[in-house]
Copies of this chain bind each other. A is one copy, B any other.
Amino acid sequence: MENKVKEAGRKTESGEEKTRYGKSEAILRAAAKVFARSGYFNAKVSEVAKTAGVADGTVYLYFKNKDDLLTSIFSWAMEEFIASARAELSRAADPREKLRRFAQLHFSLFERERDIAIVFQIELRHSTKFMEQFSTTYLAEYLQILRNIIEEGQLAGIFRAHLNSKVVAKFLFGVLDEMATNWVLSHKSHSLTAMVDPVLDIFFNGVIESNA
């Protein structure tokens, strides 16, 4: 994720970079933490600033407003995720293996960054405004990656050819999303990545007994 945040700063000399990028990133991480803890609407910008160790006004030097903080968390994380997903997928050949790695990456990101996970599964769903923005940008890209794998599998004769790949992609996203939400809400915090295999088993083979 480092590199996304870096882009928010402006480069000068190497010595100063760390500090400057640190400020933008610090604010974004602080926002994720505060939003995760208090919920977006109850979160106070001054609390974000305090957590980031900057003055209130400084937040507004880096982000347009409170909404922009939320939006930035999500584009930051999504861009990061999609980039590493593409890299990861290139390392596998079998479509089934690709889907497994994709789901694994999705879940392990959340396990590593619980604040981000909470913001994604809960806070981002506040309003149709955010939802629609999410649907038409990053979610579309996420689904497209899934579709590509599915169509690849269909061409290879591995996945059932007549299935609508768009529906299949949404289907899988829905399942992963629900597992993620469930994990976020459960306080005992079982392993999320452990769900990958059971879930993909159902997704691949269905629930019906093959000789039924």
Q: Contacting chain B: which of A79-87, A104-112, A168-176?
A: A168-176
- Contact call B167/A195, Cβ cutoff below 8 A: yes
Chain B, Cβ-Cβ closest to A202: B171
Q: Is the CB of A207 within 8 A of B204?
A: yes
Contacting pair B160 A205 (CB below 8 A): yes
- Decide if A126 touches B128 in the complex (CB within 8 Å): no
- How far apart are the CA atoms of A129 and B122 in the complex, in Å? 10
Q: From A157, A171, A181, A198, name the one whose CB has the most chain B CB atoms within 10 angstroms.
A: A171
How many angstroms from the CA of A164 to the CA of B209 in the assembled complex? 14
Instruction: Scan A38-77; emit 1 where CB is below 8 A from any B CB, else 0.
Output: 0101100000000000000000000000000000000000
Q: A171-B175, A174-B179 are in contact. Are A131 and B185 (CB under 8 A)?
A: yes
Cβ of A137 to closest chain B Cβ, rounded Å: 13
Please count how many residues in chain A sit with their CB below 8 Å of the partner chain's CB atoms. Answer: 52
| A132 to B185 Cα, complex, angstroms | 6
Of the listed residues A126, A164, A204, the one surrounded by the most CB atoms of chain B closer than 10 A to its CB is: A126
Enumerate chain B residues within 8 angstroms of A125, measured Cβ to Cβ.
122, 125-126
- Chain B proximity mask over A172-199: 1 for CB below 8 Å, otherwise 0: 0111111101101100000000010011
- Tell me the interface secondary structure of chain A in the complex: helix
Which of B173, B178, B205 is within 8 Å of A208, CB to CB?
B205
Task: Tell me the nearest residue of chain B to A186, going by C-beta.
Answer: B135
For the complex, is A14 an interface residue (Cβ under 8 Å from B)?
no
Compute how far the CA of A153 lies from the CA of B208 in the bound complex, rounded to whole angstroms. 9
The 7 closest A-B pairs by CB, nearest first: A174-B178, A206-B206, A205-B206, A125-B125, A174-B175, A39-B127, A204-B208
